[in-house]
Amino acid sequence: MSTETLDNPNKFGSGRSVKRIEDEGLLKGLGQFTDDLAPAGELRAVFVRSPYPHARIVSVDTGNAAGMPGVAKVVTGAELVQAGVKPIPTNPAFKRGDGSPVATAPRRALAHERVRYVGEPVALVVAQTLQQARDAAEAVSVEYEELPHVVELQAAVSPGAAVLCDAAPDNIAAEMRYGDAKASDQAFARAAHVVSLTVVNQRVAAVSIEPRSVLAWVAEDGRLTLRMSSQMPSGVRNSLANDILGIGAEKVRVTVGDVGGGFGMKTGIYPEDAAAAWAAWTLKKPVKWVADRSEEFLSSFHGRDQRADAELALDAGGRILALRLRTLANVGAYATATGMVIPMVVGPWVQTSVYDVPAIDFHIRCVMTNTASTAAYRGAGRPEAIFIMERLMDEAARQTGIDRVELRRRNFVRPQQMPYKNAMGQVYDVGEFEKIMDEGLALGDWSGFEKRHAQSKAKGKLRGLGLSTFLEWTSGNVFEERVTVDVKADGVIEVFSAVNQMGQGIATTLAQLVVDVFGVPIEKVRVVLGDTDRGDGFGSAGSRSLFTGGSALHLGAEKTLDTARGLAAKSLEASPADLEYSAGRFVVKGTDVGVGLFELAAKQPGQHIFTDHTSAVAGPSWPNGCHVSEVEIDPQTGEVQVVKYAGLNDVGRVVNPMIVRGQLEGGAVQGIGQALMEYMAYDRESGQPVTGSLMDYAAPRADVVACEFVMEMNQTVPCKNNPLGVKGVGELGTIGAAPSVVNAVADALARAGKQDAARGLQMPLTPAKVWGLLNG
């Protein structure tokens, strides 16, 4: 970074597109990912995994493997049970329909007695080298007795389906109901229009560039220490120490270095983490496990996988009267806490979105199948809910004959209704949804579409115009965060936060907030993240890193500066009110008598000025947006190409426009990927994953947005629930993209006279699927 920062540090504070301070080390190959650490005596771990979707484990013969070169230990599920290793806990607060407790089989570090999905870890081999561990894993002999399986939602709740858990003979782990069914029924009875759709959000994989990884060892202080690729180290520590191993949190430390992407998939502890940690704790040697790409597809958390029968009631003027949902959510073989929270809590919170919906009737059931568990994936419940709502709104426009923009305009929650409590009891602090839509339509040149449509038609292409107006909820409803601020005598301000970097640029953004308060060059700020010894916190999930973590840092930095002001007043024998502060120096007003911030730190006990600060925001933030997309369809092949995309996003105050824009664009690409190509598929007959590699799973590439692609931010409606006025942004693009693109394809089909095809669209909109709809 140039020396101009010394002259004008404010150029690197909030509102500036500061280059990411994380990038220099990464570009030079100096990153510290988990696999970059290789302590002396490190052992490598490899898992033996089930080839069956559902089977009884008859026996596990480890004798041959245990005697192979370099093998330190071979572990089975039965051995872990005997050693007292407990299952990974789920959320006991959820209930089944009859009021009985949530039902799910124990999710163990290694399968015991039964396996319930292809890829479930059955045994662990630890050896001196990775190749030795792989060779020994192939020598482990497991005898299975195959059991009936089921991988599809509707089949799982049908009579006679294979049962995954004895406590749930219907395969329903838990369910929730919301709203007033009687009031909704009355609204539907008097409605002039009733729109109904079956909407599927297919299963997708996160595909982070860095796979899951964990290195565990016993440190010199006798504590179990883990280095992980994780978004939530405190949660991992607590689950491992308190629930699984039972050794107490004080005996476990979790650290996180660089993380090559998370997308929600790295928010909790996995069976492999627990097994590797137990092996290190038992062997008293470092044990490392790094997933390969196949293992990621087989056993990492997947996202989405929901089916909803949705109905919308409207009066003759197009005003919404009620919304009714019957949703099945596939939670996989084991109902994780997060896997149930997403469809049964988070999705419903935002289901009515930016619209004033007076009555709701929701029934959500979490269904177990012989597939990998689902949990958080970028957006986590909000993309699914918003997709349902936006598909309903466009279909309502077609059925009522009301222009789709006008239909939305008639149903928006108005600024004068703020703070607004939706039908789920969630309170929006601010929102000017109509204004955001109007700006989005202008950004996407909505009014100029017909000319572009004619140009596409002349080329023999179908062209469609899509719209989504939508809402996001952020914070994970964990509003408190702890930070430390340490002004050091050596000229560095070191700050710690329990939020984590995973490629989103949060370290840069936090550093900019420090520059705002202290007015020092950004080079003098050191951001430390990812260490449970330095401080607890919820971590980075739910787009909360800046919203909660940044707010806490801002207040902690101000508190530190106030402390420094008092110390400076004593040093200069002046009143604090008589001091001026600027660019790292206190000066007595009207004089040249002063003291530098770092000079002042050197005079203190320990040669620093230290603050440990915890604060909470007042509630969630509600970013929102309007995304407009245009697609061209080749009727000869069914190929869909996004040819124009514009997103206007209300994200409150922006600290780093470059980083925010990058988050919005990256999120949109992931949403477009789900709309057009991504699908984690299982074969119905065999239960085998059929998209278990990047040769089969179609992840989005840069060419999906090889078009006019623009993202802009509106900063005129700051959030009132935090001191920075910011709103979460990391997932917003993902939420708006898929409905915008699918609505554009539906519009193209409708313009081509395929109204029924437009109504029945289901993602992903592959060429084969679209061609079939055009020629069916």
Boundary residue ending a domain (616, 640, 663): 616
Q: Which tokens go with 181?
A: 């069914």
Angle at CA 753, nearest 5°, toward 752 and 759? 105
Q: How confident is the model at residue 541 (pLDDT cuts 50, 70, 90)?
A: low
The whole-number average pLDDT for the span 38-67 is 98
Are 127 and 230 in the same domain?
A: yes
| Same domain flag for 701 and 589 | no
**pLDDT average, residue stretch 60-77:** 98
Same domain membership, residue 717 and residue 670? yes
Q: Do residues 583 and 606 both lie within one domain?
A: yes
**Domain co-membership, 535 together with 654:** no
Domain shared by 9 and 49, yes or no = no
- Cα gap 248→12, rounded to integer Å: 43
3-state secondary structure labels for all residues of 59-109: EEECHHHHCCCCEEEEEEHHHHHHCCCCCECCCCCCECCCCCECCCCCECC
3-state secondary structure of 773: helix
What is the model's pLDDT at position 6? 40
Tally the domains of the chain. 4
E strand or H helix at 657:
helix 657-676
Per-residue tokens: 433: 């949804």
Domain boundary among 581, 616, 651: 616
Are 578 and 483 in a shared domain? yes
Tell me what the pLDDT averaged over the chain comes to.
Answer: 94
347, with CB counted inside 10 A (0-12, 13-18, 19+), is buried
Q: Given its phi and psi angles, is residue 32 left (phi above 0), alpha (psi -120 to 50 degrees) or beta?
A: beta
Judgement on whether residues 275 and 314 belong to the same structural domain of the protein = no
The pLDDT-based confidence of 537 (bands split at 50, 70, 90) is confident
- Nearest Cα residue to 121 out of 374, 372, 376: 372
Tens of pLDDT, residues 489-513: 999 999 998 887 877 888 899 999 9
Domain boundary among 571, 598, 616: 616
Query: Dmax over Cα atoms in the chain, in whole Å?
Result: 87
Over range 107-128, report the average pLDDT.
Answer: 98
Q: Is the pLDDT of residue 638 over 70?
A: yes
pLDDT band for 539, please (50, 70, 90 cuts).
low
CA 239, 242, 243, 246 torsion-angle sign: positive
* Angle made by CA atoms 752, 754, 759, in degrees to the nearest 5: 130
Q: Give dist(CA 630, CA 289) in Å, integer.
A: 44
Apex 57 CA angle, 51 and 63, nearest 5: 90
Q: In the prediction, which pLDDT does 499 show? A: 83
Domain that holds residue 463: 429-474+622-776
* Strand-pair category, 43-49 with 121-127: antiparallel
Work out the pLDDT band at 1, boundaries 50, 70, 90: very low
Query: Is a pLDDT exceeding 70 seen at residue 4?
Result: no
Neighbours of 503 (CB within 10 A): 20
Q: What is the pLDDT of residues 548-560, one digit of tens each?
A: 888 889 999 999 9
DSSP reduced 3-state for 30: coil
Q: What is the CA radius of gyration of the chain?
A: 27
SS3 272: helix
pLDDT for 307 beyond 90: yes
Q: What is the pLDDT of residue 170?
A: 98
Tokens 């000229």 found at: 491
Per residue in 216-260, pLDDT tens? 999 999 999 999 999 889 999 999 999 999 999 999 999 999 999
Predicted confidence at residue 208, as pLDDT, reads: 95
Residues 271 and 140 placed together within one structural domain of the fold: yes
Looking at the structure, tell me whether residues 347 and 496 fall in a common domain.
no
Calculate mean pLDDT across residues 316-340: 97
Report the C-alpha gap between 218 and 632 in whole angstroms.
Answer: 58
pLDDT for 8 equals: 57
Q: Give, as one character, the DSSP assignment of residue 342.
A: I
pLDDT at 179: 98
Identify the pLDDT of residue 476. Answer: 67
CATH code of 338's domain: 3.30.365.10
> What's the pLDDT band for 561 if we cut at 50, 70, 90?
very high
* Gap between the Cα atoms of 210 and 309, Å rounded: 37
**Is residue 25 located within the same domain as residue 95?**
no
How confident is the model at residue 627, as a pLDDT? 98
Q: Please count the other Cβ atoms lying within 10 Å of the Cβ belonging to residue 219.
A: 9
Q: For residue 228, give the CATH number of its domain.
A: 3.90.1170.50
Are 117 and 689 in contact, with CB atoms under 8 Å apart? no
User: In this predicted model, what pLDDT tens digit does every residue of 6-22 receive, in sequence order?
Assistant: 445 567 788 899 999 88
As given in the structure block, the two tokens for residue 161 are 């389906």
Shared domain check, 94 and 10: no
